[in-house]
Amino acid sequence: MKLNWSLKKNNHLLVKLAVSILLVGLAFRLFVFKSQEFTSPSELETSGSADVDRTEVVAEPEPEPEPEAKAKAEGEAKAPEAEASTVDVSEYGDQNQMPQNETEDQIGMPVKEKCDLFTGDWVPNPSGPVYTNASCPLIESHQNCIRNGRPDSGYLYWRWKPRDCELPPFDAEKFLDMMRNKTWALIGDSISRNHVQSVLCMLSTVEQAVEVYHDEDYKSKRWHFHSFNFSVSVIWSPFLTKAATFEDFNGVSTSEVELQLDKLDEKWTDLYSDLDYMIISTGKWFLKSSIYYENDTVVGCHYCPKRNLTELGFDYAYSKTLHSVLDFIATSKHKGSIFFRTSTPDHFENGDWHNGTCERTNPAKGDEVELKYLSKILRDIELAEFEKAAPKAAENGVNLKLLDLSNLSLLRPDGHPGPYREFQPFAKDKNARVQKDCLHWCLPGPIDAWNDLIMEMIVNR
């Protein structure tokens, strides 16, 4: 009996010991768990402990947003400094607790910088243009490449794709709805006239504009969309300053241009304050032989070998003109939106306006083409003068934006009329010598992509 009791007592002690060990182990496990729960990721990374398994401190990745939502989020990720200053500090309590790095989201991943719309590539677009040369009656004959007999159509099936974001296509209905009771003007030379035709053709998919004004030479015009009380104008002012030109329909000059460098052209300055939106540009005309005036006195010229005048060069006139134009805009306190468009390159090969050609049928890659020397000078001046004017414009509350279309246009040597600026140029003689246009753009054509960019800048920027 004593032996049996002793055995039972020993078994009872063993059970107690096992339970005690189990409870101690459980308590130790809970202690370790709690201590890890309150350890920050940064402490784990700097603790130097070889026993820490860092793969356990990984957040689940968020689902990839749809392209449209992604583009919108990326556009909002980096707000302008003026907007950042309006953050409600009370939302964070103590100001010192506000996020220290505004370029990171809540899980510490870097947020992509706002997309550069002007750096990208031309990518295939099987759907093609939203209008045709037959559906839009506003295309001038010199840009109606299909009607004039251009045999290839591949140049119609490309779209501009910025490198780091999606670019939504132009939405004509949304654009017109946004522009109710507004006025637009494109101010400049024949490229501006080319561009306004593109705008009107894309909008014609919703409503056809009615021409309500033209000047004596039909160079300045205005159209009206009655359903939206929306007006679009093109204002012919190739130099943006006062100028007298002497040339025929094909651009052949009989005398030098007479250019007043210190007097802006009243054809656009008189209308300036009444315009809600405008795109202003110039460029190639400054390469023409010109005599320069300041204070109604001749001060020099550009390429005037038959005259006893100081050669100042076109860059002198271009810098001075753009400085005056952009200073006028920056100090105007205008409450609309002004786009300063950079000049677009030509693609003449083996010559110029009178003897060059452009026979390519596909977009170029970035390393296949480069700006010509004179075009680069124009562009450098444009960027320099815009950079000077932009801070002054911001200080005066003027919404001045750079529409930098030079490089994306450079990649489209296939988009010009070439010999098809005239109707059926080779119908009678396949070897006929005809003037080529490697400066303006076929419609439909690459210039339509400019409107995608403009709408993106208006809607989301």
Which residues are identified as catalytic?
190, 437, 440
CA distance 452 to 460: 12
Whose structure tokens read 């320099």?
384
The C-alpha angle 333, 338, 341, rounded to 5 degrees, equals 140
Tokens representing 78 are 């980096």
Phi, psi of 210 (to 5 degrees): -110, 125
Rg (CA), the chain: 33
Phi, psi of 347 (to 5 degrees): -130, 35
- Give residues with Cβ within 8 angstroms of 426, minimum separation 6: 149, 419, 432, 434
- Give residues with Cβ within 8 angstroms of 240, minimum separation 6: 187, 188, 264, 265, 268, 280, 282, 321, 325
Closest CA to 372 of 344, 402, 414: 344
Residue 306 per-residue DSSP state? T
